[in-house]
């Protein structure tokens, strides 16, 4: 799995905007892997969200 680094400025933000940014980056990565074919934005977002949430320990996961 590719490691996503977080810029220093983002480290001072609350966790949810940082997580949303990480999801956005991962979703774009998935989009690029599919050859940037349009029409799957929601699927890419949900897949990115699921993958990143798996990496967060259960007690630290955001509540829906």
Please report whether residue 27 resides in a domain: yes
Please report whether residue 47 resides in a domain: yes
Q: What is the rounded distance in angstroms from the CA atom of residue 32 to the CA atom of residue 30?
A: 5
Task: Indicate the pLDDT class of residue 56, thresholds 50, 70 and 90.
Answer: confident
Total of domains in the chain: 1
Vertex 23 angle, CA 22 and 24, to 5°: 90
Q: What is the rounded distance in angstroms from the CA atom of residue 55 to the CA atom of residue 40?
A: 23
Please report whether residue 60 resides in a domain: no
Please report whether residue 24 resides in a domain: yes
Give per-residue burial for 7-35: e unless 16+ CB within 10 Å, then b. eeeeeeeeeeeebeebbeebbeebbeeee
Q: What is the pLDDT of residue 18?
A: 83
pLDDT digits (tens, 9 = 90+) for 12-50: 656 678 889 999 999 999 999 999 999 999 999 999 999
Please report whether residue 2 resides in a domain: no
Q: What is the rounded distance in angstroms from the CA atom of residue 62 to the CA atom of residue 18?
A: 12
pTM: 0.66
Q: What is the pLDDT of residue 27?
A: 96
State the residue range of the domain holding 26.
Answer: 11-55
Q: What is the pLDDT of residue 17?
A: 83
């Amino acid at each position: 799995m590719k490691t996503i680094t977080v810029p220093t400025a983002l480290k001072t933000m609350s966790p949810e905007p940082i997580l949303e940014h990480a999801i956005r980056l991962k979703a774009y990565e998935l989009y690029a892997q599919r050859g940037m074919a349009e029409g799957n934005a929601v699927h890419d977002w949900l897949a990115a969200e699921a993958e990143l949430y798996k990496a967060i320990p259960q007690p630290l996961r955001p509540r829906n």
